[in-house]
Amino acid sequence: MDFNDIQNAWNNEKTENVVLPNNLEKIQTANTPLDKIRKNLKNELIYQIITVISIGFVPLIYHFEAKWLTPFYLLFSIFVAVCIYYLVKLYLFYKRLNNITLKTKDSLYETYFDVRLNMELYKTFGFALTPFMILFLIGFLYSKFAGSSNFQMLSFSNSQLISLFSVIIFSILFMGLALEWWVHHFYGKYAKEIKKVIDELKEE
């Protein structure tokens, strides 16, 4: 192979991952929103773990009757299993974010899509917990009012049942909207900043 062959091979080599100094500076501007995502996720993991543990002490704090302890902790054990599954996935995502070094376009793309994927995972986590929270609330209210002489669980009228189901549906919808706002506020707006950097790089 002579010099011309070497030069042609060099010119034909892919340069998609080659980053010019000005592009490198632009890519590294994505570190700021990424740091905010890391910080929010770290705080979120801590608060979530504390909340899950705290829920386990609710029967003791509110002095549940002995007959309610078994069904409560049966439901709570399933709740904890679901939480562990999602929290481990979010923790692994957090560890990946800590190990990321944004120096190439590819690393920026991969990070952005990882953030978007885990935003959807977080939403799924929230929706998975919503039925548990509603059941906990119903069980809590029932345990508090079951001893009342005016309380009869099976004597709901049709209008009361409709009202009850309406409240449940509204609660689920409210939780969904609240979850969308939460994810956007703590993660989505920073993901948009990273996407803006990607779009700027495409224009060059």
For residue 186, give the DSSP letter: I
Alpha-carbon gap, residue 182 to 160, rounded angstroms: 32
DSSP state, residue 161: H
Contact 195, 109 (CB under 8 A): no
Pick from 80, 89, 170: nearest CA to 124: 89
> What's the distance, CA 164 to chain centroid?
29
* Confidence (pLDDT) at 21: 53
pLDDT in tens, the chain (204 residues): 454 554 554 455 444 444 445 677 778 788 899 999 999 999 999 999 999 999 999 888 888 888 888 989 999 999 999 999 999 999 999 999 998 887 788 888 999 999 999 999 999 999 999 888 888 877 777 766 655 545 455 455 677 677 778 878 888 888 889 999 999 999 999 999 999 988 888 766
SS3 134: helix
The two three-digit tokens of residue 85, written as one number: 């599954």
Report helix, strand or coil for 162. helix
What is the domain partition of the chain in residue ranges? 22-145+155-203
Do residues 121 and 86 make contact, with C-beta atoms less than 8 angstroms apart? yes
